[in-house]
C-alpha cells in the first residue's frame, strides 16, 4: 500500500491565555515578562490554608469565546481538580473543568481547497496555567518561576475533524483571529499565550474506526506545527506499512532535528483522579447573564470583510488579509478616518506593512506606530510633501522609531523638491550627462524617459517630485 491509501486524522487542544488583568483565583497581575516570582501571592504559590476565589472576568471571557464559536453555554458548570505532580505546579493539582465545561458543541468554519468546512468543537473549558521551569540557570539546577501559575486559560478542544496540515493551519489562524476580535486573548504565540497540543493518527481510507493517536504538546509556531504533522504522519505510515503498531504516547517535536521523540506514555482521564474542587462554588449562569455577553460581541471578520468589499471596494483577497487580524482591520479603519483615502491605506497594509511584519517576524499587534501616524503618512504623500518612495522610508522609520511622520521628514530632510527652478536644474544636469538616452528617447524609445527620471531620483535621493520630473524631461526633450 502507499501513502495515498491512508487518511490523516487530527484533533487539536488549543490553550489560550486570557487577557484578564488578574489571575484566575487571586488578584496577582498577569502581565507577561516580569522578573521571576514578582507576581505571586500565597494563593498562587499554593500555601496551605489559602482559598481560591474565581475571577468573574474569566467566566465572562470564556462564555464570550463560546458564543463566538457557536457553542452551547452550560448554565450549570463547576471546577474540578486534575491531580498530577510537576515541579512547576505547586498544588500538585491543576484546577480545571472535567465533566461540566462552560461551553460545548460548537464549530468554526475554515476555508479549504474543497470549499468551506465546519470543524466541530467538543468543548471550551477554563483552567489555570502552571508556573515555568528555567533550566540550567544556576550551574545545572532548575529554578521555578511562579508568575505564570494561576494565569487563566481557556482550552478549546476540537473533534478529530482535521484532515491535513493545511487544514490545521487554517483552523488555528481562524480561531486566533476570532479570539483576537472578541478581545479575550492577545494570542501571542512567541509568548506562549496561544499554543496547541496536536493529536495525530492515520487510518486506511474507508476504515471507520480511528487509528491510535500520538500527541505533540505545547506547539507554538505555525511552521513547526506543519512540519511536525508531516513528519509524524510519515512516521506512523512507515510503522504500519512495516506491520507494526502505533503506541499511544506523548511526543516532543524537536525543531532542530525535525523529528519527534517519545516523552511518556499517554495518560488517561482516570489517571488524573478528577474530582470537584471543594473550595469553589458551582458556576451558575442566568439567561440574562449570557444574553448580556452576547450583546457585547463585536462585528466578526466575515461581516467586516463583506463591508469592506462594498464600502471601500477592496478586492476579495485584500479584504480577507486585512480582516483576518483585528489589529490590521482597526488600523485600516482608523487610518482612513484621518486621511480619507482607503485605497492608499489598503495598499500600505497589504504590501509594505505586511512585508515588514514578515521580515521582522512581528505580529500585527506588535506594530509600534498608531493609525494616526499611518493616516498622516498618506496625507503627506497625497499633498505631494513627500514622494511615495520617501514614504516607504518614513514607514521603515515608523517601525524603528515611531513618531509623527511630519517630524520624521523634517528631521531627516526628506521633504519633496517641488520647486520648478530646482527641478529644472536637476533635469538639465541629467540630460547633459546622458546624451545617449536623449537620442534614444527622440528615436521613439519611451523607456529612456524612465531611465532619466530614475537618474534624477537617484541624484536627489528620492526627494524630487516624480510627476514634475516626468513632465519637465518631456518638455526639455521636445
Ligand atoms: P486528552 O488528550 O486530554 O486525553 P481527549 O481524549 O478528549 O483528551 O482528546 C483530545 C484531542 O485528541 C481531541 O482534540 C480529539 O479530537 C483528538 N483525538 C482523539 N482521538 C484521536 C485520534 N484517533 N486521532 C486524532 N485525534 C484524536
Ligand atoms: Zn497570586
Ligand atoms: Mg490531550
Determine whether the shortest distance from the Cβ of 66 to ligand 1 is under 6 A: no
Determine whether the shortest distance from the Cβ of 11 to ligand 1 is under 6 A: yes
Can you give the pLDDT at residue 182? 95
All three cell numbers of 249, joined, read 504516547
Determine whether the shortest distance from the Cβ of 237 to ligand 1 is under 6 A: no
Ligand 3 center–CA 25 separation, angstroms: 24
Ligand 3 center–CA 197 separation, angstroms: 6
| Alpha carbons 191 and 310: distance in angstroms, whole number | 37
Can you give the pLDDT at residue 406? 93
* Atom nearest to 13 CA in ligand 1: 14
Span 420-477 CATH architecture: Orthogonal Bundle (1.10)
Can you give the pLDDT at residue 190? 86
| Alpha carbons 325 and 365: distance in angstroms, whole number | 9
The helix (run of H) or strand (run of E) holding residue 476 is helix 466-477
Count the neighbouring beta carbons within 10 Å of the beta carbon of residue 112.
Answer: 15
Residues carrying CATH 1.10.10.410, the chain? 420-477
Can you give the pLDDT at residue 463? 84
Mean pLDDT, each 10-residue run in order, the chain (478 residues): 89 97 97 94 96 98 97 97 93 96 97 93 97 81 93 98 96 94 92 94 93 92 94 94 91 88 73 94 97 94 92 94 93 96 96 94 91 96 87 95 93 85 92 93 90 91 86 90
Determine whether the shortest distance from the Cβ of 160 to ligand 1 is under 6 A: yes
Determine whether the shortest distance from the Cβ of 51 to ligand 1 is under 6 A: no
Can you give the pLDDT at residue 267? 67
Ligand 3 center–CA 154 separation, angstroms: 14
Determine whether the shortest distance from the Cβ of 213 to ligand 1 is under 6 A: yes
Q: Are 294 and 285 in contact (CB under 8 A)?
A: no
User: Which residues are placed with Cβ below 5 angstroms of ligand 3, an ion?
Assistant: 13, 197
Can you give the pLDDT at residue 269? 64
Ligand 1 center–CA 213 separation, angstroms: 8
Amino acid at each position: 500500500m502507499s501513502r495515498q491509501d491512508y487518511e490523516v486524522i487530527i484533533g487539536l487542544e488549543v490553550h489560550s491565555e486570557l487577557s484578564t488583568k488578574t489571575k484566575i483565583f487571586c488578584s496577582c497581575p498577569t502581565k507577561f515578562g516580569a522578573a521571576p516570582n514578582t507576581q505571586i501571592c500565597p494563593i498562587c504559590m499554593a500555601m496551605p490554608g489559602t482559598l481560591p476565589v474565581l475571577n468573574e472576568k474569566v467566566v465572562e471571557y470564556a462564555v464570550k469565546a463560546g458564543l463566538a464559536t457557536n457553542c452551547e453555554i452550560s448554565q450549570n458548570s463547576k471546577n474540578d481538580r486534575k491531580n498530577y505532580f510537576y515541579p512547576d505546579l505547586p498544588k500538585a493539582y491543576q484546577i480545571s473543568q472535567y465533566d461540566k465545561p462552560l461551553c460545548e458543541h460548537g464549530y468554526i468554519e475554515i476555508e479549504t481547497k474543497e470549499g468551506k468546512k465546519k470543524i466541530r468543537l467538543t468543548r471550551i473549558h477554563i483552567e489555570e496555567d502552571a508556573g515555568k521551569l528555567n533550566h540550567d540557570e544556576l550551574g545545572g539546577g532548575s529554578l521555578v518561576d511562579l508568575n505564570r501559575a494561576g494565569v487563566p486559560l481557556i482550552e478549546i478542544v476540537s473533534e478529530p475533524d482535521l484532515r491535513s496540515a493545511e487544514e490545521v493551519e487554517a483552523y488555528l489562524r481562524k480561531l486566533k483571529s476570532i479570539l483576537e476580535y472578541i478581545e479575550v486573548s492577545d494570542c501571542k504565540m512567541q509568548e506562549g499565550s496561544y499554543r496547541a497540543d496536536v493529536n495525530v493518527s492515520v487510518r486506511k481510507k474507508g476504515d471507520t474506526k480511528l487509528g491510535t493517536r500520538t500527541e505533540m504538546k505545547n506547539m507554538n509556531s505555525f511552521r513547526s506545527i506543519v512540519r511536525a504533522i508531516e513528519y509524524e504522519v510519515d512516521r506512523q505510515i512507515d510503522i504500519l506499512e512495516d506491520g507494526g503498531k502505533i503506541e499511544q504516547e506523548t511526543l516532543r517535536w524537536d525543531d532542530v532535528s525535525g523529528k519527534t521523540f517519545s516523552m511518556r506514555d499517554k495518560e488517561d482521564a482516570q489517571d488524573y483522579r478528577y474530582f470537584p474542587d471543594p473550595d469553589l462554588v458551582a458556576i451558575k449562569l442566568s439567561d440574562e447573564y449570557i444574553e448580556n455577553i452576547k450583546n457585547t460581541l463585536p462585528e466578526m471578520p466575515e461581516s467586516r470583510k463583506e463591508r469592506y468589499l462594498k464600502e471601500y471596494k477592496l478586492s476579495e483577497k485584500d479584504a480577507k488579509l486585512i480582516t483576518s487580524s483585528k489589529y490590521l482591520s482597526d488600523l485600516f479603519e482608523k487610518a482612513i478616518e484621518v486621511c480619507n483615502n482607503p485605497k492608499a491605506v489598503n495598499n500600505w497594509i497589504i504590501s509594505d506593512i505586511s512585508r515588514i511584519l514578515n521580515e521582522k517576524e512581528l505580529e500585527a499587534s506588535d506594530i509600534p506606530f498608531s493609525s494616526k501616524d499611518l493616516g498622516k503618512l498618506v496625507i503627506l504623500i497625497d499633498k505631494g510633501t513627500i514622494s511615495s518612495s520617501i514614504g516607504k522610508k518614513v514607514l521603515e522609520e515608523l517601525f524603528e522609531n515611531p513618531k509623527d511622520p511630519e517630524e520624521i521628514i523634517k528631521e531627516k530632510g526628506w521633504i519633496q523638491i517641488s520647486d520648478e527652478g530646482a527641478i529644472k536644474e536637476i533635469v538639465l544636469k541629467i540630460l547633459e550627462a546622458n546624451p545617449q538616452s536623449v537620442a534614444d528617447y527622440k528615436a521613439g524609445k519611451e523607456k529612456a524617459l524612465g531611465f532619466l527620471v530614475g537618474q534624477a531620483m537617484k541624484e536627489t535621493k528620492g526627494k524630487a517630485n516624480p510627476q514634475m520630473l516626468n513632465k519637465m524631461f518631456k518638455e526639455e526633450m521636445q
